Amino acid sequence: MVALAMSAEGAVDFWDLPPLRYSDSVATDPIARLAVEIAAGRRGIEGATVLDRLRTVLKLLEVPEESQVLVFSKTSKQNGLIHPGNPRCLFFNERTYVGFVPGGGIEVITYDPVLGPVFYLIETPLEERPAVIDRDTSSCLSCHGNARTEGVPGVLVRSVFPDDDGHPVATLGSFLIDHRSPIGERWGGYYVTGKSSLPHLGNRTFVEEDGREESTEVVMLEDVRGKVDAQRYLRVTSDIVALLVLEHQCRVHNLITAASMQYRRGHWLQKALDPAEDPDEGSAGRMADEAAKELVDALLFKDEAELGENGVEGDVAFQDAFSERYPRTKDGKSLADFQLQERIFKLRCSYMVYSQPFQDLPPRVKGAVMARLKVRLSGPEAAEWLKEGERGKIAAILAETLEGW
């Protein structure tokens, strides 16, 4: 594929080649701007305690505290601090992911309008010293820039088989999770609060000798008190609904980034090879159309896994904080209303269409996605997993709430 062409040395990731130049380009996202202000002495990260400073970062990024989930497997940058008694907490909105483990720094992945996801580690000493913000363009991408993230800098949710100390039992393997994954494969290495109709891997540890021990018992928690020192966290929940939303969002976010980066690289290459040809009418345009097919199917929750006979129950505080972020029609309808019985949402069209990453797609790509959405919601290529009535409701909401529809 022309967009994935490597340099002559074959050792440069395509996102570091022109015109992308991901690692060498200056970021302009909110954390990048904060770093400049801190370095100039104009601003700090306020808070008398580490949790206060974490709250400051979340507020700056408009990330709701209610989105907290807790992962105790050693599968992140700060593995030495993580174990079942000291899990890493994760928070998110539609453009940003924040991680924190007690005793460590604050990790942020946030969206830049040109670069896509950008990775940071924020150290927040409680002494008089200012916070230190470092952008990472190498170590994070060993896990966050490969086939698991659609071949671009991105995000992922893994389910592993952790032992009593949080180490993944390598011989038992792992699962890459999104909204298509069976519930039985999910949440290994996570605490899960709420209720589920189906058994899963959360709230459990494993030993190699037992293999992938299947359980018909649903292991759930009302909250994480008794498992962790709750005073070291913002909330006592690791919400099952937040996990479901996060898993869907990560794949969509990666598909958006891949569509943008691959198109931009392909457009640049074709223009360099033949300046007289319009790339949007050639291979770059075809790449946009192909990317739109996969992205639209993900936006419409194709192959969404069943939630079980009685669905799931989670933290209403998260559901309220989440839903209020997205537009409603004049009669109160929204793509962010939960169903939580057969599926996550009442209407299967992702709220990610309102996200900044989606809105900032290159015009040719965004145009292809919007056109494909309309095709999948009506006509001979209508999405067969959505009934006609549901497709009509989705189209009506988009017509009223989505710019450019």
Q: Which two tokens stand for residue 72?
A: 């105790």
Q: Above 70 in pLDDT, residue 345?
A: yes
Considering only 122-131, 133-142, 289-298, 373-382, which range has the smallest mean pLDDT?
A: 122-131
> What is the structure's pLDDT at 91?
98
pLDDT band (50, 70, 90) for residue 8: very low
Q: In a 10 Å sphere around its CB, with 0-12 CB exposed, 13-18 middle and 19+ buried, how is residue 147 labelled?
A: exposed
Q: Which two tokens stand for residue 324?
A: 């209020």
Model pLDDT for residues 92-126, shown as the tens digit of each residue: 999 999 999 999 999 999 999 999 999 999 998 77
Q: Percent of the chain beyond pLDDT 90? A: 86
The distance from CA 368 to its chain's CA centroid, rounded to whole angstroms, is 23
> What is the structure's pLDDT at 7?
39
Model pLDDT for residues 210-233, shown as the tens digit of each residue: 777 766 678 889 999 999 999 999
Region label for 124, one of left (φ > 0), alpha (ψ between -120 and 50) or beta (otherwise) = beta
What global pTM score does this model have? 0.94
Q: Percent of the chain beyond pLDDT 70? A: 96
Q: Above 60 in pLDDT, residue 9?
A: no
> What is the structure's pLDDT at 10?
52
Q: Which two tokens stand for residue 46?
A: 């306020």
More confident residue, 375 or 220: 375
> What is the structure's pLDDT at 246?
98
More confident residue, 41 or 179: 179
> What is the structure's pLDDT at 210?
77
Model pLDDT for residues 260-317, shown as the tens digit of each residue: 999 999 999 999 999 999 999 999 999 999 999 999 999 999 999 999 999 999 999 9
pLDDT band (50, 70, 90) for residue 4: very low
Model pLDDT for residues 68-82, shown as the tens digit of each residue: 999 999 998 899 999
> What is the structure's pLDDT at 208?
87
Question: Mean of the pLDDT values across residues 6-15?
Answer: 65
For 225, which DSSP code?
B
- CA gap 154, 243 in Å, rounded: 17
Phi, psi of 90 (to 5 degrees): -125, 140
- CA gap 18, 6 in Å, rounded: 11
Coil, strand or helix at 399:
helix
First to last CA, the chain: 31
> What is the structure's pLDDT at 215?
64
Nearest alpha carbon to residue 151 among 329, 349, 291:
291
- CA gap 125, 120 in Å, rounded: 16
> What is the structure's pLDDT at 3?
37
